[in-house]
Structure 1
Amino acid sequence: MEVQGLRHAYGRRPVLNGIDLVLHSGVVAGIVGENGAGKSTLLKILCGELQPRSGFVRHLGRFGYCPQKAVLNKALTVRQHLDFFKAAYGLTDLRRAEEVMEMLNLADYADERASVLSGGTQQKLNLTLAVMHDPQLLLLDEPYQGFDWDTYQRFWDLTAQLRARGRSVLVVSHLAYDAQQLDELQRLKDGTLCAAPLVTP
């Protein structure tokens, strides 16, 4: 992914003041920032949900997006969600989805409706839907919210697997609890990105 000169404002209030970012293959990068720093605005622009005032975003290959709030149909089961996204992505099978479900301990919930899943289990499904088409680029917004410690560790195992396969992963969070898992870390402050040390606060 290549990003150049992103600027955005809400009315007269500037939020992004010239964001430049290059995310290479096989790199797990993080962006941290306080609430209100513009992280959500940046992610919406990166995934195409919002048009910037100026600048551009270029993706090479398929990309996946896991929003902070799971966007699920509470009436559908986990399996029905997978079938729906299989059709949307034009996939021939659910092999990759099933691999991720096993990795995240989600497989046992395949026939449960989303309405009865805990917040953490809903987030497991949210993540599975984002990666089941094997994207070259994965954008993650607070992806482990609601995870217990075991699932949190499994999440980073999945991320390491993606890195080893040459995928690019961008994790956006308000705190860098997991900085040791990243190859690059930047802080969003005053509408711009600056390099941050890879140390746990």
Structure 2
Amino acid sequence: MILRGVRKARGRRLVLRGASLTVPSGMLVGVVGENGGGKSTLLRIACGQLAPDGGEVRRTGAVGYCPQRLVLDDALTVEQHLRYFQVAYQLPDLRWSEELLEILALAGFRGERAGVLSGGTRQKLNLVLALMHDPDLLLLDEPYQGFDWETYQRFWELTVRLRERGRAIVMVSHLALDIGRFDEVHYLREGLLYDSSGVAEAAATVANGRGVVGG
């Protein structure tokens, strides 16, 4: 995936003002920044859900997007969600989905309606729906919200496995303990992306009003 000079305004406010990011296959990239700084907007543009006001977006292969906002129907069971998305993704079977249910400790909830699940369990289902078609590019917006510690650990084991299979992964994270897990970390600040090696320079750049993209 390549984002180059991406711009997006929300009303009169310029949320993204030239953000650039390249994520090759087999790389796990973290995006961090202040709340309301445009991280979710960046992912929505990257997956094609939201059109940029300017710049270039290039994707290859299938995309999986796990948003913060759940895509679940409270009246449907876990099993019914899988069947619905199987048709949407045109999948011949649910073997990978079944494996994901086991990995994320969700298999025991197959017959439960989404509306009665706990917040963490609903988030597990939200993640499974984003991954079940085994996409080439994964865009994950704080995907483990509400996970218990064991499932959190299983999630990272799954992420390593996906990376080893050549998947490109971009993840918005707010936990400091996650930083060391990424191949690269990019900071979204003042509408621009900076890699972790250029944070001090980024601060100086923004302060000086030069707006040069780093990373």
TM-score by length of 2: 0.89
Q: Could you say which residue in structure 1 is the equivalent of 2:116?
A: 116
1:196 positional shift:
1.5
Q: Could you say which residue in structure 2 is the equivalent of 1:131?
A: 131
Q: Does 1:165 align with 2:165?
A: yes
- The count of corresponding residues between Structure 1 and Structure 2 is 197
| Whole-angstrom distance in 1 between the partners of 2:140 and 2:14 | 24
Secondary structure of the residue aligned to 1:52 is coil
| Whole-angstrom distance in 1 between the partners of 2:194 and 2:53 | 21
| Whole-angstrom distance in 2 between the partners of 1:118 and 1:88 | 25
Percent identity for Structure 1 against Structure 2 = 60
Q: Could you say which residue in structure 2 is the equivalent of 1:102?
A: 102
Q: Could you say which residue in structure 1 is the equivalent of 2:192?
A: 192
Larger Rg: 2
Secondary structure of the residue aligned to 2:40 is helix
1:21 positional shift:
0.8
TM-score by length of 1: 0.95
| Whole-angstrom distance in 2 between the partners of 1:52 and 1:186 | 20
| Whole-angstrom distance in 2 between the partners of 1:171 and 1:153 | 16
1:98 positional shift:
0.5
1:12 positional shift:
2.3
| Whole-angstrom distance in 2 between the partners of 1:125 and 1:12 | 36
| Whole-angstrom distance in 2 between the partners of 1:176 and 1:43 | 20
Provide structure 2 residue ranges, at least 5 long, that are not aligned to the other structure. 198-215
1:175 positional shift:
4.1
Q: Could you say which residue in structure 1 is the equivalent of 2:53?
A: 53
Whether contact under 8 Å (1:61, 1:136) holds in the other structure is yes
The residue type paired with residue 54 of structure 1 is G
